[in-house]
Amino acid sequence: MDQLVVLLPTLPLVSALLTHLLSGALGRSVSRISVAGGTASFLIAAILLGSVLSGDDVSHLAAGDSWGSLLFDPLSVLMGLLIAGISLLVRIYSVRYMAEEIGYARFFVLLDLMTAALLIMVAAGDLLTLLISWHLIGVLLYFLLGHDTRSTSAYRYGFWTFITYRFGDLPLVLAAAVLFHTFHTWSLPEIFAALAANPDTTTFYDLPVSEVVGALIAMSAFARSAQFLLHTWLPYTMDGPTPVSALMHAGIVNAGGFLINRFAPVFAHTDDVLHWVFIVGVFTAVIGSVLMLSQHDIKKSLGYSTMGQMGFMIMECGVGAFSLAIFHLIAHGLFKGTLFLSAGGIIGEARDDDGVPKDDLYTFIVERQPARNRQPWLLMAAITLTIPVLVLLLSHLLVAPNLFQKQGAIILLFFGWVTGAQLLFATYNMRSENPWRLVALIVFSFIVVVIGYTLISHAFDVFLYPDPEFGTKLYQAAGIDFSWFVILVAFASAVIVLGWLRAYYTERSQNGRWRTPGHWWRNFYALVWREFHILDIYTGLTRGVLAASARVNVWLRWG
């Protein structure tokens, strides 16, 4: 099994080398090497996952004395399978999609190298290997996004990604330096064991090492997963080839969630860091969703959708639901990858026939026709508020009876409740011949989704963090004072319930009539549409720095 662990990242490296060397002789069919390598990697990853599921022990394979080691544990094999799978799909898709592009072989070489870097990152057993792969991913992504070397805009936006990723590398370097300085080893298992044995270990300036390292790791994860203020690269990198967008949105951007999970043994001993992670995640989820709704450009909208999802994933880590974040990143990776890879085909087909059935959903969403006769608003509001919370509570109690001891789980239930209620609220406006049938169908599908989600996330929890004590520690690290928690939950519940009631009442009283938005609302919309002017600020700052640099050079006579 150890040989397979080593072979998994080695195969894409060999494939990259062969693709480069044989591209002249084989021409376009050189892509078969890459696809074959990708298929073999995927099969190996599947075998490794099967072996972990069948109970094989975690192992640590070291090539060098101090670094160059790989971990064979549930997290690395699960992520390895995801990366190998998405990377294989992207390669198969690219065989024809990129056929008329210049630099065909170069594209596959870069894809193979990227796959190798990602596989090494998720399996890295020491800090140095992790740092190297983390850094290389940013560099390779820059060249993948700028694959069309004629396109200056592709490179300009690729540069935004590159510089944000480099910015995110730095806290990880500092975290590695602090850990090495404190524990005198690069090995992750050794560091985690030492920290578990002595959680109160301090470092420079007598600061607790878990807090310092946790904060630095979180910052690195924020940059990689496009959290607010470090997000501008994500919606603007659509000038790169579509397969790269798919790989980026489905795999690379999820690295933040992976990193936080890899350092879970550090976060388990933190006091405040996870609270900040939660705040940043929530803020990003809300801002990303608002920006997504305000954009006219569908590609930018997709980019902001990913940003919102990443915010939610980071928020899940912030409440202590680490394994749920992994489930989320896998689910998001699969559906966003599908969206990107199928986008081109759908656009082509839609030119002949949009293929959208003219049903209730179509008239409501596309034609924007609200129902003429509505159900009693109070009854609908009551259904909206109570059914989701009942479904969520019952399904969670089924798998985890001690649910209410975990604040994080309650917060996630809260989000589930809001989502379910939003779904039901939509039916209030929809034109339908049989509205109760529609409500029943929505409730049924909601139950299926919630039960599926609950069971799968529970399975992830058992698989990734089999020690229940450790899972409880993570939730405790994310918890806040209980009385404050109750106050916050009660306040948020009250705001949401009042909001829904008001929304129902307003819908009922307006009865479908359009009201011109006020001055403040229009200004807010303009602000959101301009993406809060964050890009303008960054552009101004960049120009300022470059102008200052040139001025200093002139003062010093270029010497």
Binding site for other proteins (CB under 8 A): 64, 66-67, 102, 128, 131-132, 135-136, 139, 142-143, 146, 149-152, 155-156, 159, 162-163, 166-167, 170, 173-174, 176-178, 180-181, 186, 204-205, 545-550, 552-553, 556, 558-559
Q: Which two tokens stand for residue 40?
A: 């073999």
Q: Which is nearer to other proteins, 179 or 413 (CB)?
A: 179
Closest CA to 143 of 108, 173, 94, 97: 108
Q: What are phi and psi of 376, to 5 degrees?
A: -55, 125
Least CB distance to other proteins at residue 538 (A) = 13
Q: CA quadruple 81, 84, 86, 88: dihedral positive or negative?
A: negative
Q: Which is nearer to other proteins, 222 or 364 (CB)?
A: 222
Least CB distance to other proteins at residue 549 (A) = 4
60 by DSSP, 3-state: which? strand
Q: Which is nearer to other proteins, 135 or 328 (CB)?
A: 135
Least CB distance to other proteins at residue 159 (A) = 5
* 67/346 Cα distance (integer angstroms): 47
Q: Which is nearer to other proteins, 513 or 557 (CB)?
A: 557
Contact, 383 vs 424, CB < 8 A? yes
Least CB distance to other proteins at residue 181 (A) = 7
Q: Which is nearer to other proteins, 494 or 547 (CB)?
A: 547
Distance of CA 242 to the CA centre of its chain: 18
C-alpha to C-alpha distances, 500 to 291, 390, 392, 411, 523, nearest whole angstrom: 22, 17, 19, 18, 24
Q: Which is nearer to other proteins, 17 or 400 (CB)?
A: 17
Least CB distance to other proteins at residue 157 (A) = 11
Least CB distance to other proteins at residue 160 (A) = 10
Least CB distance to other proteins at residue 314 (A) = 23
Q: Which is nearer to other proteins, 9 or 38 (CB)?
A: 9
DSSP 402-459: TGGG-HHHHHHHHHHHHHHHHHHHHHHHB--S-HHHHHHHHHHHHHHHHHHHHHHHHH
Q: Which is nearer to other proteins, 3 or 153 (CB)?
A: 153
Q: What are phi and psi of 110, to 5 degrees?
A: -65, -40
Least CB distance to other proteins at residue 530 (A) = 26
Query: What letter does residue 330 receive in the DSSP assignment?
Result: H
Angle at 251 (CA atoms; ends 128, 56), nearest 5 degrees: 65
Least CB distance to other proteins at residue 331 (A) = 31
- Tell me which H or E stretch contains 337: helix 322-352
Least CB distance to other proteins at residue 177 (A) = 5
* 406/478 Cα distance (integer angstroms): 9
Q: Which is nearer to other proteins, 157 or 312 (CB)?
A: 157
* 430/360 Cα distance (integer angstroms): 7
Closest CA to 283 of 363, 226, 346, 236: 226
C-alpha to C-alpha distances, 378 to 414, 421, 505, 512, nearest whole angstrom: 22, 14, 8, 17
Residue type, 458: H
> For tokens 């994860």, what's the residue?
221
> For tokens 């022990």, what's the residue?
57
Q: Which is nearer to other proteins, 149 or 434 (CB)?
A: 149
Closest CA to 224 of 282, 270, 302, 162: 162
Q: Which is nearer to other proteins, 120 or 313 (CB)?
A: 120
Least CB distance to other proteins at residue 535 (A) = 17
Distant-in-sequence, close-in-space partners of 3: CB < 8 Å, separation ≥ 6? none
